[in-house]
Structure 1
Amino acid sequence: MDLTLAIVLVAFAGVFLISFMRGAFGGGFAIVGIPLLSTVMDPVTAGGMLAPLFVAMDLYALRYWKASTWSKPDLVLLVPALVIGIGCGYLLFRLLDHRAIAIVMAAITLVFVSLWFLRGGEVTVQPRSTPKALAAGFTSGITTMVAHSGGPPLAMYLLPLGLSKEIYAGTTSLFFTVGNATKLVPWLMLVQPEAKVWALMAICLLAIPAGIWLGWRLHGALDQRQVYRACYGLLVVTALKLLWDGVSGYL
């Protein structure tokens, strides 16, 4: 991969967009920035480039999403399941049919969002469920390892709890901080980025502070209802992207 100006600008914009989503909603919607990267590099190279950048985003985002914004009762269940899911995802990375996983995950997400809209699109409060939390964490671990798309399973567990917008974003942020740190080495082992990719990573690091700060400012400007509607809307975007990736892979 040659480091042309076009590649640098597109990659920088993609990392900025992902950082913006990280600051606004705590993480989980990285896939919305990946289409930009896929225009200048193959998905595996993009995944390898993003893995270290995700960790840098996470560390910087902790300035805003501090311990007071974490839902500890949920994280106690979600995080161990996430780590196990990442381990399984790594072992199955070359065996799993990524296209089928993308299609199934997209279908489940679209059904989840559709049911929410049919119920009136209101912020609800449902009781916690240990089995649901473990399933969400484990599934998110597999999908984040395989396709950097761990957001939908986590959102499908957290959003129905009706957490405050700060607690939702902070919990999501810490969840993916652990997840991205856990999958960093496996991704680098699978991809083994070349020197030019590392150079591109260094350039894209400069996009992270501004992206996260602007996203955090947007989060502060939105009320609870608007944040939840935005998250459900982003789930639709994520699902459609996954559906496209899966279906186009068979064509």
Structure 2
Amino acid sequence: MLTDLNFYAVAIPAVALVGLSKGGLGGAFALIGVPLLAIAVPPMQAAAIFLPILLVMDAVALWAWRRHNNRATLYVMLPGAIIGIILGWATSTLVSPNAMRLVLGSISLIFALRYFIESYAARDGGEKPPAPERPVAGSFWGALAGYSSFVAHAGGPPFQVYTLPLKLDPKSYTGMSTRFFAILNAIKVIPYFALGELDSTNLTLSAVLLPVALVSTLIGAKVVHYMKPAIFYPLMYGMVLIAGAKLFYDGSTGLLGL
């Protein structure tokens, strides 16, 4: 596989998309990246190849966004997310990833469409004020983000359902989300080792694809640094809309066996 040009024709764009996402340009890119790589290799192997790359991307993104964070939101969501990962590990053989994708896709589509409808209705009446921090809601969406990140590699949409209405400064939002998913990915190393997926073949492929990941992550971070809120938030909601459609399609076709 190390010399298979067909593999790299799929793997390089897949890794570049996830790198742009890690840099701050929205979780939809990441949702497209992993299924794209799964065209060339089995889905579980695709996830295993991505995990070491994600960890390095996280390190680069953490450095790029080291001066930006929102501790209040991070502290509200992290405990639930960790519980969600543990529940995902414990029930991974009981819950269908396609069912999870279908539920997350439906939630994401409704969430994003509501934003665009409300934005259109309020275009002459001012913007909706930022939502306050809500510990119960943050814990719930954090747990769903952690659970779906483990079960279906789709933690971004539930994370954004809680965080986007807060209307944080784009830099604070991206720094906080970078820390959130870096912690989740680090925790996920344990079950991946337990499943035997981090073998020498997959780790070698990860290492070969790593330069693409690093460059694309830095590009994504550079773009977001200069992006104004008036552009950033419609783009993020647009990404949620795309991600929701992708999850809904994958989940429904998977359940129907199409």
Contact 1:32 1:237 survives alignment (8 Å): no
Aligned to 2:188: 183
Aligned to 2:171: 166
Aligned to 2:57: 57
Aligned to 1:140: 145
Contact 1:75 1:171 survives alignment (8 Å): yes
The reply on whether 1:157 has 2:156 as its aligned counterpart is no
Contact 1:107 1:243 survives alignment (8 Å): yes
Give the Cα separation in 2 of the matches to 1:181 and 1:168: 20
> What SS is found at the alignment partner of 2:195?
helix
Q: Residue 36 of structure 2 aligns to which amino acid in structure 1?
A: L
Aligned to 1:223: 228
Query: Which digits, 9 at most, give the CA deviation of each residue in 1:43-102, with x for residues without a partner?
Result: 111111111211111011112111x31111111111111111101101111111111111
Contact 2:102 2:248 survives alignment (8 Å): yes
Give the Cα separation in 1 of the matches to 2:168 and 2:114: 19
Q: Which moved more, 1:31-40 or 1:51-60?
A: 31-40
Q: Residue 153 of structure 1 aligns to which amino acid in structure 2?
A: P
Structure 1 runs (4+) deviating above 6 angstroms are none
> What SS is found at the alignment partner of 1:175?
helix
Q: Residue 91 of structure 2 aligns to which amino acid in structure 1?
A: L
Q: Residue 35 of structure 2 aligns to which amino acid in structure 1?
A: P
Q: What displacement does 1:196 show?
A: 2.5
Alignment of 1:226-245 (within 5 A): 226-245=231-250
Q: What displacement does 1:213 show?
A: 1.2
Contact 2:17 2:29 survives alignment (8 Å): no
List gaps (5 residues or longer) in structure 2: 121-126
Give the Cα separation in 2 of the matches to 1:61 and 1:240: 27
The reply on whether 1:23 has 2:28 as its aligned counterpart is no
TM-score by length of 1: 0.93
Alignment of 1:26-105 (within 5 A): 29-66=29-66, 68-105=67-104
Contact 2:81 2:146 survives alignment (8 Å): yes
Q: What displacement does 1:13 show?
A: 2.2
Contact 2:113 2:241 survives alignment (8 Å): no
Alignment of 1:197-212 (within 5 A): 197-212=202-217
Q: Which moved more, 1:16-25 or 1:108-117?
A: 16-25
Q: 1:214 to 1:48 in 2, by over 3 A?
A: same
- How many percent of aligned residue pairs carry the same amino acid? 29
Give the Cα separation in 2 of the matches to 1:225 and 1:38: 35
Aligned to 2:124: none
- What is the Cα-based RMSD across aligned positions, in Å? 1.8
Give the Cα separation in 2 of the matches to 1:154 and 1:168: 11
Give the Cα separation in 1 of the matches to 2:128 and 2:212: 33
Aligned to 2:116: 117
Give the Cα separation in 2 of the matches to 1:86 and 1:123: 33
Q: What displacement does 1:209 show?
A: 1.9
Q: What displacement does 1:104 show?
A: 0.8
Q: 1:29 to 1:124 in 2, by over 3 A?
A: farther
> What SS is found at the alignment partner of 2:41?
coil
The number of equivalent residue pairs is: 250
Contact 2:27 2:157 survives alignment (8 Å): no
